[in-house]
């Protein structure tokens, strides 16, 4: 069974042409249409947002009061997992 690389991963490693070809194959399209172009643009936008909003593990343990609620709910969630 053949599994192509993820279009998201291909865009992340600067191979947008291969990502487009993979999406076309997954959606059984023979030529690029607006839906494929839009999806590639959304993937690029999503990756750019992820780069800008990158957070570290250390920030979870800082003495920042704004993250106290997040840590509280994380602890409760982990009790049930």
List, for residues 24-43, the tens digit of each pLDDT value: 988 888 888 899 999 999 99
Q: What is the pLDDT of residues 47-69, one digit of tens each?
A: 998 888 777 777 666 676 777 78
Q: How many structural domains compose the chain?
A: 1
In a domain, residue 35? The reply is: yes
Residue 59, in any domain of the structure: yes
Q: Does residue 75 lie within any of the structural domains?
A: yes
Flag whether 21 is in a domain.
Answer: yes
Nearest CA among 3, 1, 2, 23 for reference residue 11: 23
Q: Is residue 39 part of a domain?
A: yes
- Classify residue 2: in a domain, yes or no: no
Structural domain that includes position 40:
7-80
Report yes or no on 76 lying in a domain.
yes
Enumerate residues 6+ apart whose C-beta is below 8 A from 4: 22, 25, 26
């Amino acid at each position: 069974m053949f599994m192509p690389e993820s279009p998201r991963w291909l865009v992340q490693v600067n191979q947008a042409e291969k990502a487009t070809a993979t999406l076309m194959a997954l959606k059984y399209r023979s030529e690029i249409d607006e839906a494929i172009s839009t999806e590639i643009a959304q993937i690029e936008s999503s990756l750019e947002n992820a780069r800008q909003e990158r957070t570290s593990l250390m920030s979870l343990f800082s003495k920042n009061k704004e993250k106290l609620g997040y840590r509280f709910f994380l602890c409760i969630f982990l009790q049930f997992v």
